[in-house]
Amino acid sequence: MGRKPNAPLRVAVLAGGDSAERAVSLASGAGVVRALQQAGHAPEVIDPAGRDLDSVEWERFDGCFLALHGGAGEDGRVQNHLTRCGVAYTGSGPRASRLAMSKSAAKAVFRTAGVPTPDYVLLEPKKGPGLICAKHPPGRSGKLNLVPFSARLVARLGFPLVVKPDGQGSSLGVGIARSAAEFPDRVAQSGRVGSMVLAERLIEGREFTVALFQGSPLPLLEIVGREELFDYRSKYSSTLIEYHFQTGLPPILIEQLRETAARAASALGARGLVRVDLLLDTDNRPWVLELNTLPGMTDHSLAPKAARRAGIDMPRLCDQILRDGLNRRG
């Protein structure tokens, strides 16, 4: 739009929103603003909470940096709106965002693409007094094929099970049911955060995360801590969690984890900076848990840690993310 190649870019940073992850999004937005300012750009935070995005004077900006987490900011709705308005933005497009935000939808795609992911069932606990399960996979129409809940369907997975909301990030509402007796309470806990609940076979092993930028994996990061689950509290307040780049794994296993993460991102069509969470079981087999299309950009966030390990500081990272989004969307 007539801007000189090296001129500061005017950037709308979308942060906040009205999802359960609002606080984390605001922290990400603040980190992005600092980094873009240090990179020589002119960012401005826009909080979409209670605001019609049509009211934003988009013509004032060269593009939009998405720092939203959860809700409309991460499930494709904001991406779809910006696409319709002709606004260039960072990260994945509407379809990849929608698929990644629904853990069950992403897992269905992973299975089709041959990406290893734990077995699961999808539950809708608020459908009357009993649970409702969705058979896997959905029908050709993409709609869930709902059938009455059967304890055998869940028991077939075998306990322990990880129980979590299907459409929430930041590990909100995640718990472990180690027996059938614990299962209803865990489902109720997750159901308070999201209407659909995923019950997934627990994989015993080591937890890793791989951040990718433009499809290329950044250094592998292992998550180590005393908590049973890497949940919301662990991510943002625990002092017991440690992050190790020195994993002790042989190079062939490190490459296998990185390659599996790249296949997961490719299967969903995810772009820009993404993060894939994986487990390595006791037989050294990788399993993809989920993919995050808008990783956190706070001081605790894992994708910026991996970028720094690769020699990319925060200002450079945000500058590259921004330019990648602008280049792909004109």
145 is catalytic: no
Domain boundary among 141, 167, 201: 201
Catalytic entry in 277, 301, 319, 325: 277
292 is catalytic: yes
In this model, does residue 20 exceed pLDDT 90? no
76 is catalytic: no
pLDDT, tens only, 175-223 = 999 988 888 888 888 888 777 889 999 999 999 999 999 999 999 999 9
pLDDT at 129: 38
Give dist(CA 181, CA 287) in Å, integer. Answer: 27
50 is catalytic: no
Give dist(CA 20, CA 101) in Å, integer. Answer: 14
74 is catalytic: no
Residue 220: inside a domain, yes or no? no
pTM of the full structure: 0.87
Catalytic entry in 97, 104, 171, 292: 292
Residue 126: inside a domain, yes or no? yes
**Domains of the chain: total:** 2
CATH classification at residue 28: 3.40.50.20
89 is catalytic: no
34 is catalytic: no
Both 83 and 127 in one domain: the answer is no
Tell me which residue range forms the domain holding 61.
10-91
19 is catalytic: no
In this model, does residue 234 exceed pLDDT 60? no
Phi and psi of 267, rounded to 5°?
A: -60, -40
Catalytic entry in 170, 171, 190, 234: 170
Catalytic entry in 234, 290, 319, 325: 290
Residue 305: inside a domain, yes or no? no
